[in-house]
Amino acid sequence: MFVVVGVTGGIAAYKTVHLVRRLIGEGHEVHVVPTADALRFVGLPTWEAISRNPVTTSVHDDVATVRHVSLGQRADLVIVAPATANTLARMAAGIADDLLGTTLLATTAPVVVAPAMHAEMWRHPATVANIETLRARGVHVVGPADGPLTGGDSGPGRLVEPDDIADAALALVARRDLAGLRVVVTAGGTREPLDPVRFLGNRSSGRQGVALARAAADRGAEVTLIVAHVDADVRADAAHTGIALSAVGTALELQERVTDAAATADVVVMAAAVADYRPAEVATSKLTKEANAGRLVLELVENPDIVAGLAAARPAGQTIVAFAAETATGDELLARARRKRERKGADLLVVNEVGWERGFEQVENEVRVIGEGGAVLAAATGTKRQVADAVWDAVLASR
Ligand code: C5P
């Protein structure tokens, strides 16, 4: 999506850096349009580096591309954060003496403003009237939040947290093509205990699974996300009104939870990295070097193949998606993926190549989706969110 982020001259402008990062992380093309005053708070190089696009405040730069209207015309969404009392007044009056002003007049996309100012300014009849005018024109107003303000006072006027602004703005333009579907997604790596302090684990960060859950929730699905071990920042990403989160530790716990949840699901996506084996016995006290001098032999037993079990018992109409992380390349990668899909009885199998430097803990991913008869239904490269959207597109197309 093509998103214009207007930034105006308030101290909260630094928080908008996070908003832009989030939008970029989700694969959107972001153009930042600051006012001249905004640049007194956060400088132009920051906006250019974060958005990966040129930034200017002036209608006289890049005139050949008719930039003063082209950004607004191309926008799918415009967010102004923070929006000062002055900018809200200029918007209400339709003043267009800088690039943000012209962009706002030229756009027909949804416009979201996140006001930030002192409580007195927010309550002033001029601001109240301007907000009323903007609302009546269809502008979406997010916040302000109530709380401590920069001068040490407190009241309505704080910028809403950047993630909440992003959620509210993206919800306005989100595709709702998964509305009505109940989906279960598993994410992260299971941990199989050896003794009270040790476990056998894997390098899965949970990023792709959580991105799949978020994408589904954004697109209207009712999501149950079952997480094994995931990195802390990834877990924070799972906070979403459309996601019911449930945490597990071992493969057997995951099996129980996902089997329960799958009973009423339309789609099950097994993105979790499930341990194929677990220690045959879990020691009740810590294994010691004293007791295992020089060498420790562990006996492992095989875990059930959860996705194969789900596929064998699936209710009519349920779509099962398995994942395969393979260290093979080229034709061998596809051949293994096709065999794995057959063996597990999954409808779709999402395969990616992994290695010491590939796949795990990375922000970007590259996958192919294998379907009926081994056909490659989709190929996607990009952020894990872009990959997630491509997987859901393939799921929808296959149903
Ligand atoms: O066989 P492999 O571990 O490569 O299979 C990966 C796929 O199978 C993933 O979808 C994973 O969630 C699932 N799996 C499972 N139960 C296991 C091992 C893997 O459901 N014991």
CATH number of the domain encompassing residue 368: 3.40.50.10300
Q: Are residues 198 and 57 in the same domain?
A: no
Domain of residue 65: give its range.
Answer: 2-173
Pocket of ligand 1 contains residue 33 by CB under 6 Å? no
pLDDT digits 0-9 by tens, 177-193: 999 999 999 999 999 99
Pocket of ligand 1 contains residue 305 by CB under 6 Å? yes
Residue nearest to atom 6 of ligand 1 (CA): 324
Q: Are residues 139 and 211 in the same domain?
A: no
Q: Are residues 152 and 195 in the same domain?
A: no
Q: Are residues 77 and 169 in the same domain?
A: yes
Q: Is 59 helix (H, G, I), strand (E, B) or coil?
A: coil
Q: Report the distance separating Cα 45 and Cα 86, nearest Å.
A: 24
Pocket of ligand 1 contains residue 324 by CB under 6 Å? yes
Pocket of ligand 1 contains residue 307 by CB under 6 Å? yes
Q: Are residues 168 and 188 in the same domain?
A: no
Pick from 307, 333, 343 the residue to mutate for probing ligand 1's pocket: most ligand atoms within 8 Å of its CB: 307
Q: Are residues 155 and 284 in the same domain?
A: no
Query: Of 69-73, 109-113, 267-271, which range is least confident?
Result: 69-73
Which residues, other chains included, contact 212 with Cβ-Cβ below 8 Å and sequence gap of 6+?
Answer: 185, 187, 269, 271, 388, 391, 392
pLDDT digits 0-9 by tens, 365-376: 889 999 999 999
130 is catalytic: no
Which residue among 173, 200, 217 closes a domain? 173
120 and 85 in contact (C-beta within 8 Å)?
no
Pocket of ligand 1 contains residue 391 by CB under 6 Å? no
Q: Which of 53, 86, 202, 365 is catalytic?
A: 202
- Please provide residue 12's backbone torsions phi and psi, each rounded to the nearest 5 degrees: -75, 0
Q: Are residues 94 and 188 in the same domain?
A: no
323 C-alpha to ligand 1 centroid (Å): 7
Identify which has the larger pLDDT, 150 or 370.
370
Structural domain tally of the chain? 2
DSSP of 94-119, one letter per residue?
A: T--SSHHHHHHHH--S-EEEEE---H
Atom of ligand 1 nearest to the CA of 276: 21
Q: Are residues 137 and 189 in the same domain?
A: no
CATH of the domain at 93: 3.40.50.1950
pLDDT mean over 139-166:
89
Residue nearest to atom 17 of ligand 1 (CA): 305
Pick from 274, 301, 369 the residue to mutate for probing ligand 1's pocket: most ligand atoms within 8 Å of its CB: 274
49 C-alpha to ligand 1 centroid (Å): 39
Structure tokens at 45: 């190089």
Query: Of 73-77, 107-111, 327-331, which range is least confident?
Result: 327-331
Q: Are residues 283 and 325 in the same domain?
A: yes
Which residue among 173, 208, 235 closes a domain? 173
pLDDT digits 0-9 by tens, 336-367: 999 999 999 999 999 988 766 665 566 678 89
Q: Are residues 233 and 146 in the same domain?
A: no
Which residues, other chains included, contact 329 with Cβ-Cβ below 8 Å and sequence gap of 6+?
Answer: 353
Which residue among 131, 153, 173 closes a domain? 173
| pLDDT value of position 270 | 98
Q: Are residues 153 and 199 in the same domain?
A: no
* pTM for this model (two decimals): 0.76
Q: Are residues 268 and 309 in the same domain?
A: yes
